[in-house]
Chain A
Amino acid sequence: GAVVSQHPSWVICKSGTSVKIECRSLDFQATTMFWYRQFPKQSLMLMATSNEGSKATYEQGVEKDKFLINHASLTLSTLTVTSAHPEDSSFYICSARDIAGGPLEQYFGPGTRLTVT
C-alpha cells in the first residue's frame, strides 16, 4: 500500500514552453501533497505544500507564478512549470500524506526528470 506515482518520469521540453507533472496517490487519499526539487548530487528542497481544494503554500524563494500547483482532488496534484528555462532542469519529486493519519509520514513518488533545452 501507500503508493505514489508520477507522470511523466522523464520529459524534455523547449525553452519557453510549459510542462505539467502529475502526482497521484494510488491507494490512499492525500489531504496534503508536497513538491520537492533535487539537483544532481544534492538534497531535496521543499518547493511547496498543497492541500486539497486550497491554494498551495510556497517556500521562500520559490516563484509561485512559475511553478503552478493544483491539488484538485484527494488523489491528484499537478505541478506546471511555466515558461521553462534551462535552469529549471532538475529532478522533481512529489510526496503525499495519507488522510487516515499516521505520524506525519510522507510517501514519495518516483520523481520526474525535467530537461529544458
Chain B
Amino acid sequence: AQTVTQSQPEMSVQEAETVTLSCTYDTSENNYYLFWYKQPPSRQMILVIRQEAYKQQNATENRFSVNFQKAAKSFSLKISDSQLGDTAMYFCAPGRGSQGNLIFGKGTKLSVKP
C-alpha cells in the first residue's frame, strides 16, 4: 500500500522567514505526480504546487518551491518570505494510478507568527 509520511505535526515560523515542510512517500509506480495542498481554517483545500515525477527540475510557484528527490522518495515544500495567510494545514499527496487518486499524509500544521 502506498504510504505518505509527514514527520512534522506542527511547525511555526516568523513572518518573512523561510520554512521547509518534509514529506516522504512510498510508491511502486514510476510515473506519477506529487502535490502539496493547504487547508486553511475555512477547510477549503487549495493546491499549492505540483511536481511531475519524470521531471528532474524542481517545481516553483512564486514563494513556494519543492525539493524533489525521486530516488529517496522525498518531496519537501519550502515557503519563502512567509506570510500570515500561509497559516494552514499542509498536506503532501502523491497521485496513484491512472486516475490519479490522491493519498494524503497526516499533514503539518503551520503557524506564521507576526
Q: Shortest 8 CB-CB distances between A and B: which pairs? A: A104-B100, A108-B45, A43-B104, A44-B104, A43-B106, A104-B95, A110-B44, A111-B43
Across-interface contacts of B100 in A (CB, < 8 A): 97, 104, 106
Q: Which has the most chain A C-beta neighbours within 10 Å: B33, B99, B103?
A: B99
Contact string against B for A residues 76-111, beta-carbon threshold 8 Å, 1 for contact and 0 otherwise: 000000000000000101010100000111101011
In angstroms, how far is the closest chain B Cβ from the Cβ of A32?
Answer: 6
> 5 interchain pairs (CB within 8 A)?
A43-B107, A51-B99, A104-B95, A104-B100, A106-B100
Across-interface contacts of B47 in A (CB, < 8 A): 105
B101 in contact with A46 (CB, 8 Å)? yes
**Interface assignment of B15: CB less than 8 Å from any CB of chain A:** no
Q: How large is the interface on B (under 10, 10 to 19, 20 to 34, 35 or more residues)?
A: 20 to 34
Across-interface contacts of A44 in B (CB, < 8 A): 45, 91, 102, 104
Tell me which residues from 29 to 60 in chain A have a Cβ below 8 Å from any Cβ of chain B.
Answer: 32, 34, 38, 42-46, 49, 51
> Chain B residues in contact with chain A, CB under 8 A?
33, 35, 37, 42-47, 50, 52, 91, 95, 99-107
Q: Give the residue of A45, A51, A108 whose beta carbon is less than 8 angstroms from that of B44.
A: A108
Q: Give the residue of A42, A46, A51 whose beta carbon is less than 8 angstroms from that of B102.
A: A46
> Chain A residues in contact with chain B, CB under 8 A?
32, 34, 38, 42-46, 49, 51, 91, 93, 95, 97, 103-106, 108, 110-111
Across-interface contacts of A43 in B (CB, < 8 A): 91, 104-107
**Within the assembled complex, what's the spacing in Å between the Cα atoms of A32 and B91?**
21
Q: Which has the most chain A C-beta neighbours within 10 Å: B52, B102, B106?
A: B102
Across-interface contacts of A34 in B (CB, < 8 A): 101-102
Q: Which residue of B lies closest to A107 (CB)?
A: B47
B102 in contact with A106 (CB, 8 Å)? yes
**Within the assembled complex, what's the spacing in Å between the Cα atoms of A95 and B93?**
14
B42 in contact with A104 (CB, 8 Å)? no
Q: Which has the most chain B C-beta neighbours within 10 Å: A32, A91, A97, A103?
A: A103
Q: Give the residue of A32, A38, A91, A93 whose beta carbon is less than 8 angstroms from that of B99.
A: A32
Q: Which residue of B lies closest to A104 (CB)?
A: B100
